[in-house]
Amino acid sequence: MDFRLSDEQRILQQTVREFADRECKPLAAVWDREARVPDRQVLEQMVQMGLVGMCLPQEYGGGGQELLSAIVCIEQLARVSPLCAAAVFESNVGPVRVVELFGTEEQKRRILPHVCRGEMQISVGMTEAEAGSALTDLRTRATKVDRGWRLDGRKVFCTGGGESEAYLVYCRIDDQPGAKGIGALLVEKGTPGLSFGKQERFMGMRGFPSSDLVFDDCVVPTGNLIVPAGGFRSLMQCFDIERCGNATMALGIATGALEVAAAYAMERRTFGKPIAERQAIQMMIADMATRVDAARLLVYRAALGAQGGFPSIRETSMAKVFANETAKAVTDMAMEILGGYGYSAEFPVERMLRDSRGWPLAGGTLQIQKILIAAAVLGRTFDQRK
């Protein structure tokens, strides 16, 4: 398999890298410190560059590009700040892909152009207090009524909660047990009966809005049913695309930490010469670089395997596990190399380390991913309820 980027992708990679350094890097610490989303002008520039919705079909305003191109862009943005990459992430590997792949023609024409113009960001409402890893235990309920669907329940830890213009809500649509009764509705912000909990305060990923979604007699139009009951498998297939994005966010953080550590090692001098001359530093730099390259290859493999369909659950889970663990390890080693400066909030490594801890928790825990990998290797499933 050829993992080399095409000439067009290399040009795109360099262009996005320069944009991230010029427009996002100077503001990344401010966004983190003030826990706020990037300025609107940053999003507008990414829309003009064709990064928002670049993987969505051209007939709906998208770029019609392959998944790997978006992955390359997300990495370059996330190495500066995952917040900078959020709009590209959500519009190319987020729940909007469910609309693209399983929505009706009317739904696609009504929703996708707004996403591609940066006018709508769609977040996912999956997790509940008692349904995280055991997602088929979810209790949020949609009941058919004359006006459409009445939604009742509560979702927790919704990234984008209170900020996004719409939410793809996984819910129980009929009385069939387990996965058979689960589908998905699109709920737009401002719909009567939808409210938001308090904004969460996290160790890292500051600036990513996150809140509960509360549905109390929330009536959604009939045309907003994106996936009917029995479509849980389809939802999970799309979520494997999002896991590629999760892995890439972690890869970007690790890439950024490696770059900062390598530059510091060449500049910082002790006993008359750069610390890069010290063998202990060389060993850490080598370990960091090897892990980052290995994570990148796993992510690229998963993305390339998705062409014309969905990524392999085995390859996607491997990429997520390794990239998530790499981000934690590499940011930790970067802090060791920078010493006191690494621990200081005046330098980016401290922020990178905090951000690295969030991605293993999002998109399915590493333990669940490892169970999925083992199931694929062994050719059988494991029922966690037995």
| pLDDT digit string, tens, across residues 45-78 | 999 999 999 999 999 999 999 999 999 999 999 9
Residue ranges covered by each domain of the chain: 7-116, 122-230, 233-378
| Look-up of token digits 């850490």 | 284
Transcribe 151-210 into DSSP letters.
EEEEEEEEETTTTSSEEEEEEE-SS--GGGGEEEEEEETT-TTEEE-PPP--SS-TTS-E
Size of the chain in residues: 386
pLDDT (tens digit per residue) in 147-161:
899 999 999 999 999
Report the distance separating Cα 357 and Cα 359, nearest Å. 6
pLDDT bin (cut points 50, 70, 90) of residue 343 is very high
Residue type, 143: T
**Is the predicted pLDDT of residue 309 greater than 80, yes or no?**
no
pLDDT of residue 383: 79
CB 281 within 8 A of CB 275: yes
**Is the whole-model pTM more than 0.85?**
yes
**Is the predicted pLDDT of residue 373 greater than 70, yes or no?**
yes
- Tokens of residue 363, six digits: 């998109």
**Is the predicted pLDDT of residue 162 greater than 90, yes or no?**
yes
Mean pLDDT calculated for residue range 114-122:
97
CB 216 within 8 A of CB 289: no
**Pair type for strands 194-196 and 182-188:** unpaired
Residue 348: its H or E element: helix 348-356
Domain 7-116 - what CATH class? mainly alpha
pLDDT bin (cut points 50, 70, 90) of residue 1 is low
Phi, psi for residue 367 in degrees, rounded to 5: -65, -40
Up-side HSE of residue 260: CA atoms within 13 Å toward CB? 29
- Tokens of residue 10, six digits: 């290399």
For the structural domain made of 122-230, what CATH number should be given? 2.40.110.10
Report the distance separating Cα 118 and Cα 330, nearest Å. 33
**Pair type for strands 166-172 and 122-125:** parallel
Q: CATH classification of 233-378 is 1.20.140.10, yes or no? A: yes
Return the bridge partners of 145, or none.
148
Nearest to 252 by CA among 26, 35, 121, 70: 70
pLDDT of residue 318: 97
**Is the predicted pLDDT of residue 178 greater than 90, yes or no?**
no
As a whole number, the mean pLDDT across the chain is 95
pLDDT of residue 307: 67
CB 135 within 8 A of CB 126: yes
Mean pLDDT calculated for residue range 219-245:
93
Which residues, including other chains, have CB under 8 Å from residue 87's CB and lie 6 or more apart? Answer: 43, 46, 51, 52, 118, 121
**Is the predicted pLDDT of residue 215 greater than 90, yes or no?**
yes
Nearest to 258 by CA among 318, 319, 329: 329
Return the bridge partners of 144, or none.
149
**Is the predicted pLDDT of residue 289 greater than 90, yes or no?**
yes
